[in-house]
């Protein structure tokens, strides 16, 4: 945290314009979480890839990044983004902030958010939402509950003071995103499997992902996801390059049985995607895969596999949303990966994120024993 004898030094907000500054921007969390046992250092190679111009997100979005300095010492960071796909779909003149990390100092938060807001006004935005790192289809939300346990794969962490500091700058709650914890070893309530069996006829078939046709299967997953989520708050579809980019990122992690596709009359109708919790096995690598980190990672994934996992994606096509068949498809998908996870020695599964007002899915998760373990908040502010 902030050394008191340095607080008198002037605060500067400097844009990230050269590779050296981007490396420093990526490294700022290491300065802030050194004393936090729940923080998991992200893989540096992945963070560089995420913020690289090669990320297909930047084909439809523009962004700016800043570092806050006291003297020569980095003390915080922020990004601001304008996503043309969001504007085309929602017509709401809304921009975004993200990548927020900072010492516990109101002046730093004021300077960082003020800089991002000024940039967004210059882009003709009238409203700001965040944090999005960088879009709603990536890591998003500020942790406001559940600080004492490490985040799951592709989920964020944060300091307890982040929320109050943002609120001091005029930000208010826009939407909460929930992470549910499900104990794989606990018995499901009596009657759930019977309900799923009764509601799902012989026309329903579940099958695992075919890795031998990975590109075609990812196209199926994308089609179902975009139909199932299309009416959700703030939704924007992936572009094909973005979804391919995501597929490349997770392909080595995905077990065929951990991606289940439900078909109705041989037509794909629902999907679930489970990722082993990589955060369990990278914590002591300190972000580095080289020179020996990659060998440790491969060994751990094969020999000492994670005991937790995350349902990162689940969706049922909209035409089944209000039907018994739709609920049955969701239950059957969860049951299928539940059994696969138990065989692999996985004890806990996080289902995240779930919109707080998505009561239909929340009831299904709670029916199988899921409890809220973390809460992430999207904040909003009008740009006068």
Look at residue 87 and tell me whether its pLDDT is greater than 50. yes
**Are residues 353 and 215 both part of a single domain?**
yes
Q: What is the DSSP string of 19-70?
A: HHHHHHHHHHHHHHSTT-TT--PPPHHHHHHHTSTTSGGGGSEEEEEEEEEE
71: CATH: 3.40.630.30
Q: pTM surpassing 0.85?
A: yes
Of 126, 156, 176, which closes a domain?
176
pLDDT of 187 strictly over 90: no
Cα 167 to Cα 149: distance, rounded to the nearest angstrom: 24
CB 321 within 8 A of CB 270: no
Instruction: Say yes or no: 171 and 212 in one domain.
Output: no
The confidence score (pLDDT) of residue 334 equals 87
Q: Is the bond preceding 69 in cis, omega lying within 30 degrees of 0? A: no
To the nearest whole percent, how much of the chain has pLDDT over 90?
Answer: 71
Is 359's pLDDT higher than 60? yes
Q: Which of 62, 44, 49 lies closest to 246 in space, CA to CA?
A: 49
Confirm whether 382 is domain-assigned: no
In a domain, 380, yes or no: no
C-alpha torsion 244→47→209→190, nearest 10: -130
Q: Which residues, 6 or more positions from 32, have their beta carbon under 8 angstroms from its beta carbon?
A: 101, 102, 103, 159
Tell which residue, 214, 198, 215, 83, has the closest CA to residue 140: 83
Please state which of the ranges 68-82, 140-154, 279-293 shows the lowest mean pLDDT: 279-293
**Residue 140, pLDDT score:** 96
Q: DSSP code of 10? A: P
For range 288-310, the mean pLDDT: 73
- Mean pLDDT for 136-165 is 97
Same domain, 138 and 188: no
For residue 364, the model assigns a pLDDT of 87
Same domain, 169 and 208: no
For residue 381, is it within any domain?
no
Measure the CA angle with vertex 320, ends 318 and 322; round to 5°. 95
The answer to whether residues 165 and 186 belong to one domain is no
Better-predicted residue by pLDDT, 200 or 215 = 215
Distance CA 348, CA 4 (A): 42
Residue 373: partners with Cβ closer than 8 Å, 6 or more residues away = 146, 149, 179, 180, 181, 350
Q: Are 210 and 95 in the same domain?
A: no
DSSP secondary structure of 251-270: TTT--GGGEEEEEETTEEEE
* Predicted local distance difference test score (pLDDT) of residue 63: 98
Domain boundary among 149, 176, 203: 176
Within-domain flag for 370: yes
Q: What is the pLDDT of residues 319-335, one digit of tens each?
A: 999 888 888 898 889 88
Q: What are the distances in angstroms from CA 185 to CA 37, 280, 290, 294, 360?
A: 26, 19, 36, 31, 24
Query: For 193-218, what is the mean pLDDT?
Result: 81
pLDDT at 291 over 80: no
Q: What is the pLDDT of residue 196?
A: 64
- Report the alpha-carbon distance of residue 276 to residue 299 in Å, rounded: 14
Residue 377's pLDDT band (cuts 50, 70, 90): very high
229, 235 in Cβ contact below 8 A? yes
Domain that includes residue 119, residue range: 7-176
Q: How far is CA 202 from CA 69, 196, 205, 317, 331, in A?
A: 63, 12, 7, 18, 16
Which burial class, exposed, middle or buried, applies to 34 when counting CB atoms under 10 A from its CB (0-12, 13-18, 19+)? exposed
Give the H or E element holding residue 309: strand 308-316
Assigned domain for 306 exists: yes
pLDDT at 1 > cutoff 50: no
| Parallel/antiparallel/unpaired status of strands 348-355 and 308-316 | parallel
Task: Give residue 193's pLDDT band: very low, low, confident or very high (50, 70, 90).
Answer: low
235 within domain boundaries: yes
The answer to the question of residue 256 being in a domain is yes
Bigger pLDDT: 24 vs 283: 24
Q: Which residues contact 137 (CB under 8 A, 6 or more apart)?
A: 236, 238, 242
Residues 67 and 130 in one domain: yes
Given 146, 161, 176, the domain boundary residue is: 176
* Same domain (yes/no): 107, 186: no
Tracing tokens 């003390």 back to the chain, one arrives at 75
CB neighbourhood size of 328 (10 A): 23
211 within some domain: yes
Q: Report the domain count for the chain.
A: 2
Q: Based on the fold, state whether residues 207 and 351 are members of the same structural domain.
A: yes
Residues 150 and 168 in one domain: yes
Same domain, 299 and 260: yes
Q: Are residues 59 and 152 in the same domain?
A: yes
Phi, psi (5° rounding) for residue 131?
-85, 140
């Amino acid at each position: 945290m902030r050394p008191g004898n340095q607080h008198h030094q002037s605060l500067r907000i400097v844009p990230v314009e050269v590779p050296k500054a981007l490396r420093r921007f990526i490294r700022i969390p290491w300065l802030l979480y050194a004393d936090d046992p729940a923080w998991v250092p992200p893989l540096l190679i992945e963070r560089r890839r995420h913020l690289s111009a090669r990320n297909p997100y930047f084909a439809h979005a523009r962004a700016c990044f800043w570092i806050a300095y006291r003297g020569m010492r980095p003390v915080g960071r922020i990004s601001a983004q304008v996503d043309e796909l969001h504007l085309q779909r929602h017509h709401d003149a809304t921009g975004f902030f993200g990548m927020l990390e900072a010492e516990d100092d109101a002046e730093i938060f004021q300077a960082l958010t003020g800089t991002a807001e000024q940039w967004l006004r210059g882009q003709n935005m009238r409203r700001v939402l965040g944090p999005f790192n960088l879009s709603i289809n990536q890591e998003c939300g500020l942790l406001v509950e559940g600080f004492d346990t490490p985040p799951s794969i592709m989920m964020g962490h944060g300091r307890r003071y982040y929320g109050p500091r943002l609120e001091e700058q005029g930000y208010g709650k826009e939407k909460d995103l929930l992470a549910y914890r499900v104990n794989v070893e606990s018995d499901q309530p009596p009657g759930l499997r019977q309900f799923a069996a009764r509601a799902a006829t012989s026309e329903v078939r579940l099958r695992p992902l075919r890795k031998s046709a990975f590109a075609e299967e990812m196209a199926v997953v994308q089609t179902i996801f975009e139909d199932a989520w299309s009416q959700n708050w703030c939704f924007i579809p992936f572009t094909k390059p973005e979804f391919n980019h995501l597929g490349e990122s997770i392909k080595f992690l995905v077990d065929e049985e951990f991606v289940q596709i439900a078909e109705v009359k041989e037509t794909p109708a629902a999907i679930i995607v489970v990722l082993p919790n990589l955060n369990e096995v990278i914590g002591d690598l300190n972000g580095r895969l080289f020179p020996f980190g990659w060998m440790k990672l491969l060994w751990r994934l094969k020999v000492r596999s994670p005991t937790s996992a995350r349902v990162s994606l689940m969706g049922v096509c909209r035409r089944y949303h209000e039907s018994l068949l739709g609920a049955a498809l969701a239950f059957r998908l969860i049951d299928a990966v539940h059994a696969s996870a138990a065989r692999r020695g996985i004890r806990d599964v996080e289902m995240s994120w779930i919109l707080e007002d998505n009561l239909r899915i929340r009831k299904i998760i709670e029916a199988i024993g899921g409890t809220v373990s973390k809460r992430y908040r999207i904040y909003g502010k009008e740009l006068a």
